[in-house]
Amino acid sequence: MSDLHQVFDALAGYLIGMALVETIVKPAMIKLTKKGLSSLDAHVDVVPDWLYRDEAAESEQEPPFDR
């Protein structure tokens, strides 16, 4: 029974850890990387724009769907 508890504890820890990485760490790293690439491109002009520009923010956004 103790082995079963260890398995469930490990699974719970894994799921909580992955949730934290996907919701906090990953978006923060993406934002920092895009900011760094943008500033690097301002100095050397060799970084492609698609690496740091957000296409969704630049395109015309549709109004919310109301019914």
Q: How confident is the model at residue 52 (pLDDT cuts 50, 70, 90)?
A: confident
Q: What b/e readout covers 34-47, taking b as 16+ CB neighbours within 10 angstroms?
A: eeebeeebeeeeeb
Greatest alpha-carbon span in the chain? 61
Asked if pLDDT for residue 62 goes beyond 80, the answer is no
Q: What is the pTM of this model?
A: 0.66
| 2-41 pLDDT, tens digit each | 899 999 999 999 999 999 999 999 999 999 999 999 999 9
Asked if pLDDT for residue 58 goes beyond 70, the answer is no
